[in-house]
C-alpha cells in the first residue's frame, strides 16, 4: 500500500470521527459581524488551534484589533503550501426561516437519499476548511508525516470585511510565504465534476447623487422649465451601454484582453446550458455583450451594473413633484489588469460631462479591488487538476468566477504566490441563507481530494 493509499484508507475509516469534529466546530456561533459573538469567535479560533496542535502542528491564535487569526505550521524540506480559510460565519437572520437551530448541526437525508450536513457554516466555510484539516490528519495518522510542508492561515473576519488580514499578512509575510496557496472557499462545476477556479473578477463601487433645484418643486409650476435630476440621471445611466451591450466609458476595456483560445475551448467543452442558466431566474434573452457566451460574460468580461436608483416620491399614491435630488449606485466587475482607480476616474468624467451646468454631482466611493488570474500552465495547477480528476472520476475543469475573493489578491501582491482555488461547495448549498447545508459526499470526497493534492504537489 502506498502512503497515499494509506492516507485515503485512514480517511474512509475515520468518517464518523471527522463528522463529529466538524459538528463540534459548527456548534460555536462565530458570527463575526455581531460584537456580542466576539467571545464565540475567540472560542472557534481556540478550538481549531487545539485540534491542529493535537495533530502535531505548531499552532497559535494571533490577536488582532478584531477577531483572532489562526496560523499553524508543519514544516519540512521540499515543496510548501499555505492553506487559507475562515472560521467566522454569516448572521442567521431571519431565524424563523430555519428548520432547526442554525448552530445545532444535523445529518439529514434528502428525498433522493443523499445526506447533507445542515448548519450555519457547514459549507461557508467550516466544512470546507475541515476537508483540508482532515486530509492532513489522515496523512499524519497513516504515515507520520505530510507529503509537503504545510501552513494554515484561518481568519475570523472574512464575513465582516477582513479588515485586519492584509496588515497581518504584510507583518508576517516571511513566515507565511510558500510555493503555492490553497483555498477551499469555492465550488464544484457540477455535483459530479470538480473544478479549479483560475480567475476572479475585481470590483469597483460608486454612488452618484445629482442635485438640481434647492428643493422639491411642484411639477405643474416648474415642469419642463426646471431641470429634473431623475431625467438627468436616467440619461447618464442609459448612456453607459451601447446597443451591443458594450460599456461606453472611454478607456473602460483597457487591461481586458481577449480570452485565450485554449481556455475558450475548455469552457466551450463544459456543456454549459445558457438557456437553463437564464431560465432558472425567469429570463430567456441574453443582455450582455453581443457575440459573447454567458460564461465569457460572467467570468472573463468586465461589467457595469446599476444596483440601485432613487429620486422623488416613492410612497403610496401619487405626488406630482420634481425632486431636488436623484441618486444611483453603480458597480463595475473588473477582469485581468483593469485598474479600479482608473475606472472610477473615467466613470466620474463620463458623468460630469453629462450633467447640466446648473446641476451638481457628488460621488461616494464604495470600495474597490483588482481582479486576479492565475496561470493554468503552472505545473502545480496541472498536478492539482490530475489529483481532483482521479478522485472524482471526471476531468476537473479550469473555470472562472464572476465574484471576488479579496484575499487572493493579497496572496498575489503581498506573498507573491499563485493560488489553487479548489472547493467542493454546490450551487444549492444556501450559503448566507437560512438552512445552509453541505453535502456529506462533498465533505468526504473533498478530504480525499486534498489528500491526493498534497501527494501530487510533492511531485
Tens digits of per-residue pLDDT, 91-137? Answer: 999 999 999 999 999 999 999 999 999 999 999 999 999 999 999 99
DSSP state letter for 436? -
Alpha-carbon separation of residue 21 from 68, 200, 270 (angstroms): 21, 32, 36
| Cell numbers representing residue 141 in the block | 495518522
Work out the number of other CB atoms within 10 angstroms of the CB of residue 93: 10
88 within 8 A of 158, measured Cβ to Cβ: yes
Domain endpoint, select from 321, 341, 369: 369
76 with 186, same domain: the answer is: yes
| Backbone Cα Rg of the chain | 25
67 with 214, same domain: the answer is: no
Nearest Cα to Cα of residue 396 among 452, 356, 355? 452
Domain endpoint, select from 329, 351, 369: 369
372 within 8 A of 197, measured Cβ to Cβ: no
Nearest Cα to Cα of residue 123 among 155, 85, 94? 85
> Is 237 among the domain residues?
yes
Nearest Cα to Cα of residue 328 among 202, 243, 235? 235
Q: Angle formed by the axes of helices 15-26 and 3-13, to 10°?
A: 60
Arithmetic mean of pLDDT, 323-343: 96
433 with 309, same domain: the answer is: no
How many structural domains does the chain have? 2
**pLDDT band (50, 70, 90) for residue 376:** confident
Residue 318 burial (CB < 10 Å; 0-12/13-18/19+)? exposed
- The owner of cell 483572532 is 68
CATH of the domain at 115: 3.40.630.10
211 with 174, same domain: the answer is: no
157 vs 160: CA distance, rounded Å: 5
Phi-psi region of 245 (alpha: psi -120 to 50; beta: other; left: phi over 0): left
142-151 pLDDT, tens digit per residue, is 999 999 999 9
278-317 pLDDT, tens digit per residue, is 998 899 998 999 999 999 999 999 999 999 999 999 999 9
429 vs 433: CA distance, rounded Å: 9
Segment (H or E) for 135 = helix 126-143
In this prediction, residue 459 carries a pLDDT of: 86
Domain endpoint, select from 337, 369, 401: 369
363 with 399, same domain: the answer is: no
Could you list the residue range(s) of the whole structural domain that residue 180 is in? 3-200+372-457
The pLDDT of residue 31 is above 90: yes
In this prediction, residue 404 carries a pLDDT of: 80
Indicate the pTM of the whole model: 0.86
In this prediction, residue 263 carries a pLDDT of: 85
60 with 176, same domain: the answer is: yes
Amino acid at each position: 500500500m502506498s502512503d497515499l493509499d494509506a492516507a485515503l484508507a485512514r480517511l474512509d475509516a475515520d468518517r464518523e470521527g471527522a463528522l463529529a469534529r466538524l459538528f463540534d466546530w459548527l456548534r460555536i456561533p462565530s458570527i463575526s459581524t455581531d460584537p456580542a459573538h466576539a467571545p464565540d469567535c475567540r472560542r472557534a479560533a481556540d478550538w481549531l488551534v487545539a485540534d491542529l496542535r493535537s495533530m502535531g502542528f505548531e499552532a497559535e491564535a494571533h490577536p488582532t484589533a478584531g477577531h483572532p487569526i489562526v496560523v499553524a505550521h508543519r514544516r519540512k524540506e521540499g515543496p510548501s503550501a499555505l492553506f487559507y480559510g475562515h472560521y467566522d460565519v454569516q448572521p442567521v437572520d431571519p431565524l424563523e426561516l430555519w428548520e432547526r437551530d442554525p448552530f445545532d448541526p444535523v445529518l439529514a437525508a434528502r428525498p433522493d437519499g443523499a445526506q447533507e450536513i445542515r448548519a450555519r457554516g457547514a459549507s461557508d466555510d467550516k466544512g470546507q476548511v475541515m476537508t483540508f484539516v482532515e486530509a492532513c490528519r489522515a496523512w499524519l495518522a497513516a504515515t507520520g508525516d505530510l507529503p509537503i510542508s504545510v501552513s494554515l492561515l484561518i481568519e475570523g473576519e472574512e464575513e465582516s470585511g477582513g479588515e485586519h488580514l492584509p496588515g497581518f499578512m504584510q507583518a508576517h509575510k516571511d513566515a507565511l510565504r510558500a510555493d503555492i496557496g490553497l483555498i477551499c472557499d469555492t465550488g464544484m462545476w457540477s455535483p459530479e465534476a470538480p473544478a479549479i477556479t483560475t480567475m476572479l473578477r475585481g470590483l469597483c463601487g460608486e454612488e452618484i447623487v445629482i442635485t438640481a433645484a434647492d428643493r422639491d418643486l411642484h411639477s405643474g409650476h416648474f415642469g419642463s422649465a426646471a431641470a429634473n435630476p431623475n431625467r438627468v440621471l436616467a440619461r447618464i445611466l442609459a448612456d453607459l451601454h451601447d446597443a451591443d451591450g458594450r460599456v461606453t466609458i472611454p478607456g473602460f476595456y483597457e487591461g481586458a484582453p481577449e480570452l485565450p483560445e485554449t481556455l475558450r475551448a475548455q469552457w466551450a467543452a463544459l456543456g454549459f446550458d445558457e438557456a437553463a442558466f437564464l431560465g432558472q431566474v425567469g429570463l430567456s434573452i441574453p443582455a450582455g455583450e453581443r457575440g459573447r457566451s454567458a460564461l465569457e460574460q460572467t467570468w472573463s468580461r468586465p461589467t457595469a451594473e446599476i444596483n440601485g436608483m432613487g429620486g422623488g416620491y416613492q410612497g403610496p399614491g401619487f405626488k406630482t413633484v420634481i425632486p431636488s435630488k436623484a441618486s444611483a449606485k453603480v458597480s463595475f466587475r473588473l477582469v485581468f489588469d483593469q485598474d479600479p482607480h482608473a475606472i472610477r476616474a473615467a466613470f466620474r468624467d463620463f458623468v460630469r460631462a453629462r450633467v447640466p451646468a446648473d446641476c451638481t454631482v457628488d460621488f461616494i466611493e464604495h470600495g474597490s479591488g483588482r481582479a486576479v488570474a492565475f496561470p493554468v500552465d503552472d505545473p502545480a495547477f496541472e498536478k492539482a487538476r490530475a489529483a481532483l480528476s482521479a478522485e472524482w472520476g471526471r476531468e476537473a475543469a479550469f473555470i472562472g468566477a464572476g465574484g471576488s475573493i479579496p484575499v487572493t489578491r493579497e496572496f498575489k501582491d503581498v506573498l507573491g504566490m499563485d493560488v489553487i482555488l479548489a472547493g467542493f461547495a454546490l450551487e444549492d448549498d444556501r450559503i448566507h441563507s437560512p438552512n445552509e447545508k453541505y453535502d456529506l459526499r462533498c465533505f468526504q470526497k473533498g478530504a480525499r481530494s486534498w489528500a491526493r493534492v498534497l501527494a501530487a504537489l510533492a511531485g
